[in-house]
Structure 1
Amino acid sequence: MKILDRYLLKEYLYTFAGVLFVCLIVMLVYMIIDNYDEILKNDPGFKYTVLYFANSLPFHIIQIVPLAVAIAILFTIGLLSRHREIVAMVAAGISARRIAAPILAATLGICLLSFIFSELVVPGCQQRAKYIEKAYIEGKGQRIQTKNQEIFVKGQGQRFYVMDAFDSATNTMTNPTVIDLNDEGSGLMLRLSADRGELAKERGQGKYWRFYNARRWSYDKDGRPNGFEQFDKPITLPMEEDLEKFLSHRKKPEEMNIFELGKFISILAKRGEHVGTYATDFHLKIAFPFSALIIGLICFCFAVRLDARNMVFGYAMGVISAIAFYGFTAVSQALGHQLILSPIVASWAPFALFAFLGYFFLNKLSI
């Protein structure tokens, strides 16, 4: 590694670390102010307050890394330009692309670390933060995360599940009813009701559910009842895969890694459910950590041309570009959630547009 590369990397990485730290402090202060009333009202205690903020921060770290990269590059390269060090490098025959190489290589490393961090650390932290928020910060109690009430869920094909409640801690249904409609969905084929149902893995490798005090009605093709059975003893029936996951509280995309989210989307699609939200967020999970590289390239193009006369303008344009990327990504994500745009287009369009702008600005550099 050349002396120039080491010098640029040292200046950039130190600046990035400082900017990221300041951004995290600002984010933490905002979170404290935002939750102050709930904390004061429900008194979760020092332990759970600290745990809540500690588990909430990793998600916000991923969100602010691109902005921290943008500011760090603007400061690092901007100050070098102001002190005429960029002019000296160019006079020595070093091109803007060569100056950018170590900066962008380090930014790519930051992107890879962000992606790994978002997959290995963020989902678990988000789950814990959500649990602490509901149970302690909002004072709803520890059972709030395991018990889902008034459930109406579509299964595979024409099957529907209705029940008063489902407890994911014990995988227990309260007053469940399973309804099978005909292929057209216009009439009943079967109805099973019970006082209680519980997950009980038994013979073979499938998942079985045990129903207590069960009653079963069958219907002919015209929807007229043609049979009734009441079971004094518990009956055990096979049910579809991962049923308990859909009866419990659904995880948000940020609470799952890409493998969990991909499997969840596949199961949703089999049930005929709307997957626009999850599919869009699946692609964004892959794309967003690398947005720092694109924003960093654009900010470098502004910063490398700075001098004392246009420094404020250059800094402003760099920050505006970063904020514009965040805004465009948010709008595109919303369009993907509503299926106005396909999930792939909604997720990758902002990155394609700003990557093109970065390439355009880099080619416009005269140094």
Structure 2
Amino acid sequence: MTRLDLYVCREMVRYFFILLLMVVVVFVVVDYLSNADRFFAAGLSGYKSIYYVLLKLPREIIHILPLCFFLSILAALGMVNRSNELIALKGGGIGPAILLRPVFAVAFFISMFGILLADTISPMASAEVNAIRYGELRPGAVQVQRKENIRIRKDDFFIYIKEVNLDDERLEGIRIHELKRDGFFPVRRILAQSGFFVDEGWVLEDVVEQVLDRKEDGVFTVRSYPAFAFDVGLNLSDFERIRSAASEMGIRELWRYMHKIEREGFDVTGYRVDFFGKTAFPFASLALCFLAVLISLRPSMKKNMAVGMGYGIGIAFMYWICYSFSMSLGYGGVLPAAFAAWMPNCLFAALGIYGLLGLD
């Protein structure tokens, strides 16, 4: 690396860590205060409450890395532009494109750091966060971590659910065994092809019910119903932890699990989108660095850096909207999973490169 590369890298890294520290401190304070009533109601100690908030940091850091790096480029190169160092570079025969080299190097390093967090520390921290959330903050919640092959013990019922779709609020492949209170002998069995959630519980469809005849031991009476209301005290909110399942798996673990359940015949659209999202989002730093360089080297940045920083925040916000919308289309099956996750990166990188081609 040349001295110019080292100088630009040092300035970007310095601003990056300042911004990252500020955002982390604000997040910890705001998150603790917003959940303080839940901590007090659950009887969590001050140490456990702080521990719970800090465990959220790895996942949040992955989300804010691109924004902090984007703003650090604007700050570092904006100062280069404002202090006439850019004019000195041009006078020495060095074009502004040379500044892309250190920016790209740091962006690549930060993207790799984000991938490492997403595959190692973040899943472990998310698992601990969910254990505290559903074990101590919401002790009555059902401990369900996957949406396939779910087995639940609830009072006198043993329940098996082949698949739960939270988006459609539906259940598939349901088997319910009701046991005697004084033993393990089944007194009723319910088989249903599907079902859906209602306020009062579940409505099962295409139901076969087998009830033990109390007059004759070992004899079951069989009835069929097109629809059957069933209330076991489990509602849609009790299955919310399923949404956190992907966050508790690293990139490699999610890849293996996705292919495992796909071979078993389950729909893996959601997991596939989550997988490509985990691999694509950390590279937002690389995708946005071109636009950051473009904004920081414009003549308007020399006169008013605040306006340039405002543009930067606006662009980062637009990227987040585009990413969220594209991922939603992926979850809905409108777009292929890989395209839904990587499309925002490709779009914003293309816009940045196109703008830099016209930069003097």
- Same fold per superposition (TM over 0.5): yes
The answer to whether the aligner puts 1:298 opposite 2:294 as a matched pair is no
Confirm or deny: 8 A CA contact 1:62 1:114 kept in the other structure.
yes
The answer to whether the aligner puts 1:280 opposite 2:245 as a matched pair is no
Q: How does 1:209-248 map to 2 (within 5 A)?
A: none
Confirm or deny: 8 A CA contact 2:174 2:192 kept in the other structure.
no
What's 2:76 paired with? 76
What's 2:351 paired with? 357
Q: How many equivalent residue pairs?
A: 303
TM-score (norm 1): 0.72
User: What are the Cα deviations for residues 286-344 of structure 1, in whole angstroms up to 9, with x where unaligned?
Assistant: 11111111112211110012444343332222221111111100011111111122212
What's 1:140 paired with? 139
Unaligned runs of 5+ in 1: 166-172, 194-214, 224-246
* Percent of paired sites with the same residue: 24
Confirm or deny: 8 A CA contact 2:28 2:54 kept in the other structure.
no
The answer to whether the aligner puts 1:348 opposite 2:339 as a matched pair is no
- Superposed displacement of residue 86, structure 1: 1.3
What's 1:264 paired with? 257
Per the alignment, in what secondary structure is the counterpart of residue 274 of structure 1?
coil
User: What are the Cα deviations for residues 203-242 of structure 1, in whole angstroms up to 9, with x where unaligned?
Assistant: xxxxxxxxxxxx999x9xxx9xxxxxxxxxxxxxxxxxxx
Unaligned runs of 5+ in 2: 146-150, 164-171, 179-183, 194-204, 212-217, 225-238
CA RMSD in angstroms comes to: 3.5
Supply the distance in 2 between the matched residues of 1:259 and 1:192 (Cα, whole angstroms): 43
The answer to whether the aligner puts 1:162 opposite 2:163 as a matched pair is no
Q: How does 1:118-129 map to 2 (within 5 A)?
A: 118-129=118-129
What's 2:8 paired with? 8
Supply the distance in 1 between the matched residues of 2:92 and 2:134 (Cα, whole angstroms): 60
Per the alignment, in what secondary structure is the counterpart of residue 22 of structure 1?
helix
**Letter in structure 2 aligned against 1:162:** R
What's 1:168 paired with? none
User: What are the Cα deviations for residues 79-133 of structure 1, in whole angstroms up to 9, with x where unaligned?
Assistant: 1111111111121111112112112211111111111121011001000011112
Confirm or deny: 8 A CA contact 1:51 1:129 kept in the other structure.
no
Confirm or deny: 8 A CA contact 2:176 2:191 kept in the other structure.
no
Supply the distance in 2 between the matched residues of 1:7 and 1:257 (Cα, whole angstroms): 35
Q: How does 1:43-82 map to 2 (within 5 A)?
A: 43-82=43-82
Per the alignment, in what secondary structure is the counterpart of residue 131 of structure 1?
helix
Confirm or deny: 8 A CA contact 2:81 2:297 kept in the other structure.
yes
Supply the distance in 2 between the matched residues of 1:178 and 1:141 (Cα, whole angstroms): 24
**Letter in structure 2 aligned against 1:336:** G
TM-score (norm 2): 0.74
Supply the distance in 2 between the matched residues of 1:66 and 1:216 (Cα, whole angstroms): 65
Per the alignment, in what secondary structure is the counterpart of residue 51 of structure 1?
helix
Supply the distance in 2 between the matched residues of 1:333 and 1:322 (Cα, whole angstroms): 16
Confirm or deny: 8 A CA contact 2:52 2:129 kept in the other structure.
yes
The answer to whether the aligner puts 1:320 opposite 2:314 as a matched pair is yes
User: What are the Cα deviations for residues 244-295 of structure 1, in whole angstroms up to 9, with x where unaligned?
Assistant: xxx9x74521111122212332243344433222111110111111111111
Q: How does 1:330-349 map to 2 (within 5 A)?
A: 330-349=324-343
